[in-house]
Structure 1
Amino acid sequence: MTWLRLYITVEGQTERKFADNVLRPYLASFSVEVKTRVVLTNRKLGKRGGILDFEKIRNDLQRLMHEDYKSEARFTTMIDLYALPLEFPGWAEAQKKKLPTERVEILESALQKEMGDQRFLPYIQLHEFETLLYCDLVQLQQRISGTEAAFAKLSKEVEHLEPEEINEGRTTAPSKRIITHVPIYDRLKVRVGASAAAAIGLPILRFKCPHFDNWILRLEQLK
């Protein structure tokens, strides 16, 4: 069977560690070789991470697709819905929809059209990488000592919400809620975030996060 090369362009180092440690070995069983990269945001300075300007991520993806033009190359993203730049394609139309799932589908479709390459499969995380951690907050709590009470309060706060329903508000986004209760997470996220998600495991992440599950399913079915 011919192997495919899948370039995953991610928003930051936490997502990159997750893709390297979880998605790469998993997708290898589907003959997909994962290559991870953090989005280039300043070419002159070689700076990577964060999406403050859509033009930068578009140019970065276009350069990558031009560099690997082979038919066995595939491309995807793992970027946050939270704090997407307003000039992101499909933004105005997406804001007319009430449900985040509808908004993210419009944005992904618009990004696919914008890039104009059938090898590209966009994915936008509802609403941040930290969404995945809400599938089992105990795994994160165990990696940050002395936070049992704080995480108990956080768990109570979101007990009525599914992980992908935790929204994109400035104080209520997944990461913002964690930082409110456990401020040190802001400095530890790269160290503990990806390992906590890995410990939760893909089966639970997929079961509790349908949009994430759909992305993984599509990656499994790449041809």
Structure 2
Amino acid sequence: MIRLYLFAEGQTEQTFASNLMTPHLANYGVYLNKPVLISHGRKKGEIHRGGGQNYAAMKQDILRFLKQEKSRDVYFTTMLDLYALPPEFPGFMAAQTYRNTPYDQVAFLEKSFAEDIGDDRFLPHLQLYEYEAYLFCEPNHFLSIEPGGTKGVETLQTIAGQYESPELINDAPQTAPSKRIIAEFPKYKKAKSVWGPLVAQHIGLPVIRQQCPHFNKWLSSLELLGQV
């Protein structure tokens, strides 16, 4: 069986991967280890984890795992947000030429990331534009957590209807997916690590894959690892 390490930006992605991706990938002969929160720094010898704002710390963390796990049947991937990547991220400035074609932009950044790490077992994934985009696939499932949120659901459905894919909901500071959700469901801000995975679980991987082509491409590539 292929083993896979996943570096998650936060607890929301970590729980999503554990609850939805782990059992799914097992069907393809891919064992997903407990997702690891990516490092954002080190203080007094202790690694601090969570967040994707310090590329040097992220790179060092990934390289450490690659060095520890040298087997050819071990692979590594990421769940990091394209939204608010640090300027020192590989290819960040060059990728700005693709701002109007988000799928090209994220592909360019993932390629630059992979080249900078320099190990063909590393298969990076950046989320367009952040995890919360997946929750716009079927916003009605927010009602399973907040039954009185019908108006908020309708607003989120209207927003989703304006885009070809939830992945294309933009990355402006006040209109990124998470900001739009918080505007309608303020409790989400402090409970995102619980609400986010629960809503996604109600939506289900098939629906997310159907509506989010970049996510689907990534998950498909992980499934294929089991055939290596």
Match of 2:179 in 1: 176
Q: How far 1:29 moved relative to its partner?
A: 0.9
- Counterparts of 2:160 and 2:220, CA distance in 1: 27
Match of 2:93 in 1: 92
- Whether the 8 Å CA contact 1:90–1:107 is kept in 2: the answer is yes
Q: Deviations over 1:139-176 (max 9, x none)?
A: 12321242221221232233211201101110111101
Out of 157-166 and 107-116, give the one that drifted further. 157-166
Q: How far 1:204 moved relative to its partner?
A: 0.6
- Pair 1:70-2:68 in alignment: no
Q: Give the counterpart of 2:136 among 102, 110, 134.
A: 134
Match of 2:124 in 1: 122
Q: How far 1:132 moved relative to its partner?
A: 0.6
Match of 1:202 in 2: 205
Match of 1:32 in 2: 30
Amino acid paired to 2:159: E
Q: How far 1:215 moved relative to its partner?
A: 0.2
Match of 2:51 in 1: 50
RMSD over aligned CA atoms reads 1.1
- Whether the 8 Å CA contact 2:90–2:116 is kept in 1: the answer is yes
Q: How far 1:62 moved relative to its partner?
A: 0.5
Q: Deviations over 1:179-214 (max 9, x none)?
A: 112211101111111011111111111000000000
- Whether the 8 Å CA contact 1:140–1:193 is kept in 2: the answer is no
- Whether the 8 Å CA contact 1:11–1:79 is kept in 2: the answer is yes
SS at 1:76 equivalent: strand
- Counterparts of 1:150 and 1:139, CA distance in 2: 11
Amino acid paired to 1:158: A
SS at 2:25 equivalent: helix
- Counterparts of 2:151 and 2:123, CA distance in 1: 41
- Counterparts of 1:146 and 1:191, CA distance in 2: 18
Amino acid paired to 1:69: K
- Whether the 8 Å CA contact 2:142–2:149 is kept in 1: the answer is no
TM-score (norm 1): 0.96
SS at 2:40 equivalent: strand
> Percent identity of the aligned residues?
39
Match of 2:3 in 1: 5
SS at 1:144 equivalent: coil
Out of 34-43 and 12-21, give the one that drifted further. 34-43
Match of 1:106 in 2: 108
Match of 1:219 in 2: 222
Match of 1:82 in 2: 83
| Paired residue total | 221
In the alignment, structure 1 segments of 5+ residues that lack a partner are none
Out of 107-116 and 86-95, give the one that drifted further. 86-95
SS at 2:154 equivalent: helix
TM-score (norm 2): 0.94
